[in-house]
Structures are given as structure tokens and as C-alpha cells.
Structure 1
Amino acid sequence: MGHKSDPKSIHPVYTITNIQNKVKILDGKNVTYSSWVKLFKLHARGYKVLPHIGGTKPPAKTYQNYETLSEIDAIVLQWIYGTLSDDLLTRVLELESTVHEAWTRIQKIFLNNKGSRAATLEHE
């Protein structure tokens, strides 16, 4: 009774209407960076978009499925931007960006922050 999957069937990424129901807003206080990353990656894996975060090189514009992959990247980028506090969003938002680039910008904010906070504590 199994259904054969239709190659033109809709990608799971298109089924999410509101990512905030699944991934809470990252603000660094109520929701920590590490828990946001875990939640985000869990959903990215579930919706088959984890490679977009992982930095898989974007395909050449001549690649057959380029448009679809570009669309999916844009949707995942919307998920990222939609789960950032206003303060973080202004620091991370860029017009021409891939998911991986945005992910890396967020990572730098939190990992650099951690380093300077640790250094301040050590200094005291």
C-alpha cells in the first residue's frame, strides 16, 4: 500500500507557515544561542534543509534545480531572520546573503561575545 514518492512532490520546507511555533526567538537571554542552534538544526534536519546551514556551496546558476535551491535557501533565511530578536536582526540582516553566511554571522556574534565575557571574568 506504499505510495511511490512523486519526484515533483512538494519539498517539506514549503509546509512551514510559522517557524516561531517551532523555534523560539533568539535573544541571548530567555533563549540562549546553544538552545536556539539545537532547535534550529533539529527542524532543519526534519525539513531536509540542513545542508543549507552547513555551508554546502551554492550551485552554479546554470544548475538544473538552481531556482528551487535558491528558493529553499531564501525560505530558510526567512526562518533565521524570523527567529532573531530585533536587536540581533539589525546586526545580521543583509540583502544578498545565503543561509550559511547569516548562520556564520550569528555564530560570530555569540562566540566572540563568549570570549570577551570570559576574558572579562578572568580579568576580575
Structure 2
Amino acid sequence: MGDTADFSTSSGKTTPSLHPVYTVTNIQNKVRTLDGTKVTCSSWVKLFQLNARGYKVLDHIDGTLPQLEDDADYGTRMEIDAIVLQWIYATVSDAYLARILDNESTALDAWGRLKKIFFEQ
């Protein structure tokens, strides 16, 4: 069963299932804040990727998310991407947030900026 599986209602109509990303109420309870000292980048990445995989949004940070604007699911994908981006912003320290925050960012963009900070110095 895929992320958008349909479930029949008693009236015979189908309703799309809720994407797992919408069930997360506080990502900070699952991924500790990346501060570079207590929580290192490698630990944070492992925790973040584990949750991204579990909530079926890993493609938003690994570069495999389709970016076809004419696709019928584009709006939903970008809405989910905004949630993943919020997760990133919510789980980095203020110092790192100031370095990766951008008005026109996608989750992949922010992920790449963090990668540059830690691995391409």
C-alpha cells in the first residue's frame, strides 16, 4: 500500500490516507538540537534521517524528490517539503539556523547548506 492509498467509506466513496509526516506534532521530541557540541552533526544526521525514513520523507533531503511543477501532486509535495524544512529549522541551534535560514529554501537546500558547514569547510 503506497502513501496515497485510498480507503473506502461506508458511503462507498474513497478518501486519501493521511501522509505520515502530518502525524508529527513535535519533531524536537524525536531529534535533538544540533549544536555541534553536545549533539554532533553525525549524530543529528543519523537521528534526522531515521525519522525522515520512518515518516516517508527521506526523498526531501536525499535529492530524489521529483520537482515536476506540472505534476498533480506537486502542491502536496511542496507542502510536505515545507514541513520537513520546518523540522530542520526546529532542530538546529540558533547559530546554525542563522546560517541556513532562507525565504525561498526547500528542505534539500537547507540540508545542503548544513552539509557545506560541516563537511566542506
Which of 34, 38, 50 is the aligned partner of 1:30?
Answer: 38
Matched, 1:78 2:86: yes
Q: Please name the residue that 1:6 is paired with.
A: 6
Give the letter for the 1:6 counterpart: D
Which has the larger displacement, 8-17 or 59-68? 59-68
Report the structure number with the largest CA radius of gyration: 1
**Per residue, is there more strand in 1 or in 2?**
2
In structure 1, list runs of 5 or more residues that go unmatched. Answer: 114-124
The alignment status of 1:44 with 2:49, answered yes or no, reads no
Please give the secondary structure, in 2, of the residue aligned with 1:28: coil
Q: CA deviation at 1:112?
A: 3.1
For normalisation by structure 2, the TM-score amounts to 0.85
Superposition RMSD on alpha carbons, in Å?
1.3
Higher-RCO chain (CA-CA 8 Å, sequence separation at least 6): 1
- TM-score in terms of structure 1 length: 0.83
Deviation >3 Å, runs of 4+: none
1:99 to 93, 100, 107: 107
Counterpart-to-counterpart distance in 2, 1:57 and 1:23: 22
C-alpha displacement at 1:97, in angstroms? Answer: 1.0
Give the percent of matched residue pairs that are identical in Structure 1 and Structure 2: 61
Letter in structure 1 aligned against 2:116: K
State how far apart, in whole Å, the 2-side matches of 1:98 and 1:55 are: 11
Once residues 65 and 50 of structure 2 are traced to their aligned partners in structure 1, the CA distance between those partners, rounded to angstroms, is 21
SS state of the match for residue 63, structure 1?
coil
Give 1:58 deviation, angstroms. Answer: 4.2
Q: 1:56 deviation in Å?
A: 2.1
Listed as ranges, the gaps of 5+ residues in structure 2 are 8-15
For the Cα contact (< 8 Å) 2:34–2:91, is it kept in 1?
yes
